[in-house]
Structure formats: C-alpha cells, structure tokens
C-alpha cells in the first residue's frame, strides 16, 4: 500500500500500462515536457520518449482522428482531452469513427482507444473548464464510459480501460486530483471490472447513486443523514456505460427509494436513464418516485455562481427528504 494523490494514481497507472505494452502511446496537448496542465502525465515523456508521449498540435479532432489511424495499425492510443469543454471539436471523430468502426468493419478493426477527460466543476475555473459532457457519450453505442472517484479505482481502472479492446471514455473528476488515498499497486486488476458499480456505504432506507467527484459528497451526506437516523446506501456507479443495473436493482429492491445525483444538467442526463430503467425494472419495489439532484439546465456558470449549480451535501439531503416524504424544500408544491 502506498499513499498517493488521485492524479499520481492515474500517472502510475499510465506508467504501468506503458511498461506492460509497447503499443500504448499517449497523445494530447501539453502532455510532454509540461506533464499536462494537471501533471497527470508528469515525467512520462522523459521516461518513454517523445514518440510514445506525443505533444499534439492544438486540434482535438486530429488528436482523436490520428489515434484512430494508429489503432488501425495496432496501437492503443490514450488521448488526453485537456478540459471537458474542449471535447466537442472531437465529437465527430469520437461518435462517428471511434465508436462505430468496430461495428462498421464487422469486428475486423478494433478501436482500443482510451479517451481521458478531466471533467466537472468546483475548481473556480473559466468557461468550458468545468463541464460534465458524459451523457453525450453514454448515449453513443460502441463506447464504454467510466468515471472513477478515488485513487485506487483510478490506478486500476485506467489500466483496465487501456487493456480493453473497446473504446473507453475515462472521466476524471478534476477537483479530486489532489486528494490522497491508499493505493495497492499490486492489486489484482482482474478484480476491477469495467462494468461494476460499487456499494460505498451500505444502508437500508434510501439508495443514493453518484459518480465522480460527487461520490465523496454523497458519502458525506450519508454520514449526515445517519445523525438524523436515516440509513443511506451510497453507490459509486464507476461505469456509466453500461450501467450496472444488477447492483442498482439489488439496492433499490432493499430500500425502495432512489436518489440520483450528478453535476451535469438534468434533462436527458444519466439520472433520467437510471430513474427510467429502475422504474421499469423494479416499479413495485419503489415507495416513491425516483428523485434527481443535479446541475441545472444551464450553461456552466461563472466561478462565483457555481455553488448554486453544483449539488452539495445539503441539496442531496433535501433530495433524501423528498424521496422519504419528509418535510423538504418543495413540501406543499404539487407535482414535485
């Protein structure tokens, strides 16, 4: 066991993957000498060379498009998108090429790309630097979508993502980059599926589903709820595509109440999919309609306003109160 930051855990995972497979190459903006704007690729170019840690010209579509070409020739590119809001220029290559080439070629061409995306807010950043675009990619068949919440998962699952023959969107909660945690570097990678959620805190009354940076907030909320005698089960989704409905169903069958939280906008978001699917799958176990505690349907706001947008502990607890039918912010409002 060693203690390391979330960012160092990904760095260590990347290093392991590069040592393990000479076909793993990194490509992105400023990832070489600088080590990336978040230093996630720190020292990797020095140790593996500029031919394997490639500083790309500033063109996201080309980062993805050239990675497709490298994958055609048997490489496993790991693309870094510098910030969440910079991914849209690459959207066509991701959605129309990366996601569909295995299908289009009837399984003859594999696209084992990993697309790393620092995502989410809470760091007081400028526009386009705090977004949560995961739902676009969850909606795209052919992609796997992962979001890790802690250093151990980050270390293990970045390696699993790189080893996976499917393209993986790997969303890293950037406000957690500097948080330290225990990492077992000798952990059995096989025990980290790319499809499994994890029950972070077991509980009986409410299922609270989160991913990325909000997992820690949800855990804090569960502890606060416990003081009020409410037992909240916290689930870290980890995989956003596919969603691990086995774990979700087992929890909701037990609690009968579901709250989903994410920073991304509500409409058409992950919460909508979880709520709809769980309602379909275990309607008769539900004691209340699923509740979403999410960012609003607004462009990501300026830094001094972002605390209104980001779900925090109190908003999660308000959601818990709603799903339990306790007095809450919308009490008395019809159709809430």
Of the residues 129, 178, 288, 308, which is catalytic?
129
Helices (H), 73-170: 91-92, 101-104, 134-138, 151-163
- Nearest distance from C-beta of residue 166 to another protein, angstroms: 5
Q: Is the dihedral of CA 204, 209, 213, 218 positive or negative?
A: negative
Do 324 and 231 meet the contact criterion of CB atoms below 8 Å apart? no
**Which residues have a Cβ under 8 Å from the Cβ of 256 and sit 6 or more positions away?**
285, 286, 287, 288
- Can residue 304 be called a binding residue for another protein (CB under 8 A)? no
Q: Which long-range contacts (CB under 8 A, 24 or more apart) does 294-298 make?
A: 294/260, 294/261, 294/262, 294/263, 294/264, 294/265, 294/266, 294/269, 295/132, 295/262, 295/263, 295/264, 295/265, 295/266, 296/265, 296/266, 297/265, 297/266, 297/267, 298/265
- Can residue 272 be called a binding residue for another protein (CB under 8 A)? no
Q: Which is nearer to another protein, 216 or 241 (CB)?
A: 241
Q: Rule CB under 8 A: choose which of 62, 179, 189, 201 binds another protein.
A: 62
- Can residue 141 be called a binding residue for another protein (CB under 8 A)? yes
Q: Rule CB under 8 A: choose which of 242, 299, 302, 325 binds another protein.
A: 242
Question: Is 309 designated active site?
Answer: no
Stretch that binds another protein, among 53-61, 214-222, 305-313, 320-328 (CB under 8 A): 53-61
- Can residue 276 be called a binding residue for another protein (CB under 8 A)? no
Q: Which is nearer to another protein, 105 or 336 (CB)?
A: 105
Q: Number of helices (H) and strands (E) in the chain: give both, helices first.
A: 12, 14
Binding-residue total with another protein (CB under 8 A): 49
- Can residue 2 be called a binding residue for another protein (CB under 8 A)? no
- Can residue 221 be called a binding residue for another protein (CB under 8 A)? no
**How distant, in Å, are the alpha carbons of 59, 143, 170, 192, 208 from that of 81?**
10, 16, 10, 24, 30
Q: Rule CB under 8 A: choose which of 35, 142, 151, 271 binds another protein.
A: 142
- Can residue 207 be called a binding residue for another protein (CB under 8 A)? no
- Can residue 57 be called a binding residue for another protein (CB under 8 A)? yes
- Can residue 317 be called a binding residue for another protein (CB under 8 A)? no
> Quick one: which of 218, 193, 205 has its CA closest to 293?
218
Q: Using CA atoms, how far apart are residues 127 and 118, in angstroms rounded to an integer?
A: 14
- Can residue 67 be called a binding residue for another protein (CB under 8 A)? yes
- Nearest distance from C-beta of residue 43 to another protein, angstroms: 21
Q: Which is nearer to another protein, 178 or 281 (CB)?
A: 281
Query: What token pair was written down for 97?
Result: 């090429």
Q: Which stretches of the chain bind another protein, using CB under 8 A?
A: 25, 51, 54, 56-57, 59, 61-62, 64-75, 77, 89, 92-93, 96-97, 101-110, 141-142, 144, 164-166, 195, 241-246
Catalytic residues: 129
């Amino acid at each position: 066991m060693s203690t390391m930051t979330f960012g160092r855990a990904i760095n260590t995972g990347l290093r392991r993957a590069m040592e393990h497979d000479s076909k793993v190459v990194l490509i992105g903006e400023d990832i070489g000498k600088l080590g990336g704007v978040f230093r996630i690729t720190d020292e990797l170019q020095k140790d593996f060379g500029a031919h394997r840690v490639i500083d790309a010209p500033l063109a996201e579509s080309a980062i993805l498009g050239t990675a497709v070409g490298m994958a055609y020739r048997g490489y496993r590119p790991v693309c870094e998108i510098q910030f969440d809001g910079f991914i849209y220029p690459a959207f066509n290559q991701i959605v129309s090429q990366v996601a569909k080439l295995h299908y289009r070629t009837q399984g003859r061409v594999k696209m084992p790309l990993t697309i790393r995306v620092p995502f989410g807010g809470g760091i007081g950043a400028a526009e386009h630097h705090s977004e949560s675009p995961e739902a676009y990619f969850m909606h795209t068949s052919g992609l796997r979508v992962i979001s890790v919440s802690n250093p151990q998962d980050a270390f293990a699952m970045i390696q699993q993502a790189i080893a996976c023959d499917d393209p993986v969107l790997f969303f890293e909660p950037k406000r957690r980059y500097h948080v330290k945690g225990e990492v077992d570097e000798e952990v059995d990678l096989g025990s980290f599926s790319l499809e499994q959620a994890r029950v972070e805190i077991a509980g009986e009354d409410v299922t609270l589903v989160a991913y990325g940076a909000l997992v820690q907030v949800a855990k804090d909320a569960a502890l606060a709820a416990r003081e009020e005698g409410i037992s909240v089960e916290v689930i870290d989704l980890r995989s956003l595509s596919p969603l691990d409905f086995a774990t979700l169903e087992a929890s909701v069958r037990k609690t009968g109440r579901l709250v989903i939280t994410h920073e991304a906008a509500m409409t058409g978001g992950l919460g909508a999919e979880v709520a709809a699917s769980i309602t379909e799958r275990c309607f008769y176990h539900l004691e209340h309609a699923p509740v979403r505690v999410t960012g609003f349907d607004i462009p990501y706001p300026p830094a001094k306003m972002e605390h209104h947008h980001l779900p925090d502990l109190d908003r999660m607890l308000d959601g818990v109160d709603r799903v339990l039918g306790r007095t809450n912010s919308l009490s008395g409002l019809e159709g809430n």
